[in-house]
Amino acid sequence: MPRLKSTHVDDPKAVGRRLKDARERAGLSQRQLSFPGCSPAYISRIEAGDRIPSLQLLREMGRRLGVSEDFLATGRERTLPEDGQLLAAEVALRLDDTETAERLYRESLDAAATPDELGRALSGLGQLAFRNGDPRTAIDRLEEARAVAGRQTLDPGESDTLGRAYAMVGELEAAIGVFEHSLDIADQRDDFVQSVRFSVLLANALIDNGNFARAEELLGQTIARTEASNDPLVQARLYWSQSRLHTLQNDTRTAARYARKALEILELTEHTYHIACAHQLLAHIELDRGRAEEGLLLARRAQELIGDSGSEVEQALFRLEEARALAKLGEREQAAAMAMEVSGRLAAIDPHDAGRSYGLLAEIYAEIGDRARAIELYELATEQLSGAPSRYLVEAFSRLAELLEAEGRKDDALRVLKRAVGLQAEAGRMLMSTE
């Protein structure tokens, strides 16, 4: 019995031609475009005109290719204004015209007629919130987008942002869950680029959570998979993650070696943002090694490179490294003003780095003899850093104990010192688990 003519496409052969053209423009193979329920072989049959895909499949393929399901189905774009607004909002977001993007996403949210439109509008607002340094709002919006019917799985860019937002507010287990899920999907689709992307993101979250053993295993597996890769950004990201791992294990020499490898690769590319991040990471390492002048040059170069392209939080972190360098070089007044500015930006967003900035301020006030203010700031630092054991938390408690003893508060000093020793032992057990 002959098949009934489909009513949602104009012609199967024309659908196949449009799909193939869009896929090739996007630089994707049939395998890279595939996803559960739509295999590479099925895509091949669609492109040959032998199969008529459902609107749901056309929508998912269109989303991955940057075209609408209407275009793939009929060759004509949909004329409903809310869809046009979403497309314009997505373009504005990619071009960093955030004011226009936010206005269009909000209008699209109010006018959304389908779950897909609602999810896209919520996701766009989440991405904007993250760029504007508001990770909690980003989480709320992206989780709403994920909960919309038919959107149980976010796309890679959305998952990237959601995981980073969770990590930024200190909810590392949630970040790890997002990255693990996205890595599983990428592996199921045999998507090499996304597998590397989420392996690196997951490894960094594991490092921040103190799970060095698993992070090291994951990075080793990923490096082995990418040995034949010609993508310099992939290699640089892996070296960068290795550098962070060794930094937190207090192996600053190896950390610096990996960071310099990442920097050498990135300098050969046009990925300015990642070059800036590599400079910032290397500045942090050089300061830990006691090389303040080198660290200051690297921190300032990082800020020159990132310019206005980084988020408010990223720019604050870059300034924190400059403040650390200035303090070590004796420029205490300038360092204190800069660290105070940074801590104000970070306090409500990134507790760990806010704690580092308070610790730096405390160190500066202790050096100029204002012990009362230094004690207050070290207490703030330990409060912000208390989410997980780290060398910064141990250092803050140790310095706080010294100052309390100098003020004659011996019982308080002993209590704080016991806390520092306990944390140091806990951190030592974590490091031993990586050996």
Q: Dump pLDDT digits (tens) for 325-375.
A: 898 898 888 888 888 887 777 776 667 777 877 887 888 788 777 888 889
Q: Which residue has the tokens 């490091």?
A: 431
Among 330, 247, 234, smallest CA distance to 283 is for: 247
The mean of the pLDDT values for the chain is 79
Nearest to 47, CA basis, from 61, 64, 37, 66: 61
Report the Cα–Cα distance between both ends of the chain, in Å, rounded. Answer: 67
Q: What is the pLDDT of residue 43?
A: 92
Taking residues 90-99, what's their average pLDDT?
74
Q: Domain 1-79 belongs to what topology?
A: 434 Repressor (Amino-terminal Domain) (1.10.260)
pLDDT above 90 covers a percentage of the chain that reads: 11
Confidence at residue 71, expressed as pLDDT on a 0 to 100 scale? 82
Q: What is the pLDDT of residues 270-308, one digit of tens each?
A: 567 667 777 877 887 888 888 999 999 988 988 888 776
pLDDT for residue 434:
36
The CATH 1.25.40.10 domain(s) of the chain lie at 331-435
Distance CA 31, CA 179 (A): 22
pLDDT value at position 370? 83
Give residue 125's pLDDT.
94
Predicted pLDDT at 213: 81
What is the average pLDDT across 59-75? Answer: 79
In the DSSP assignment, the letter for residue 309 is S
Q: What is the pLDDT of residue 293?
A: 94
Residues in the chain: 435
Whole-angstrom Cα distance, residue 415 to residue 400? Answer: 11
CA 117, chain centre distance (Å): 25
pLDDT of residue 271: 61
Token reading at 181: 């899920």
* pLDDT value at 426 more than 70: no
Q: What is the mean pLDDT of residues 188-208?
A: 81
Residues linked to residue 38 through DSSP beta bridges, in sequence order: 35
Is the model's pLDDT at 77 over the cut of 70?
A: no
Q: Write down the pLDDT at residue 5.
A: 43
3 has pLDDT over 50: no
**What's the pLDDT score for residue 432?**
38
Pick the closest to residue 189 from 30, 410, 32 (CA basis).
32
Which residues does 152 contact at the CB level (< 8 Å), separation at least 6? 146
Residue 142: predicted pLDDT: 92
Residue type, 43: I
CA within 13 Å, CB half, 334? 12
Give me 382's structure tokens. Answer: 């330990």
Task: Please report, to the nearest 10 degrees, the dihedral formed by the alpha carbons of residues 261, 263, 269, 270 taken in order.
Answer: 160
CATH architecture assigned to 331-435: Alpha Horseshoe (1.25)
pTM comes to 0.53
Query: How sure is the predictor about 54, in pLDDT bands with cuts at 50, 70 and 90?
Result: confident
pLDDT at 351: 73
Q: Identify which has the larger pLDDT, 316 or 143.
A: 143
Which amino acid is present at 309? Answer: S
pLDDT for 189 equals 82
Higher per-residue pLDDT: 258 or 175: 175
Q: What is the pLDDT of residue 388?
A: 64
Comma-separated ranges of CATH 1.10.260.40 domains in the chain: 1-79
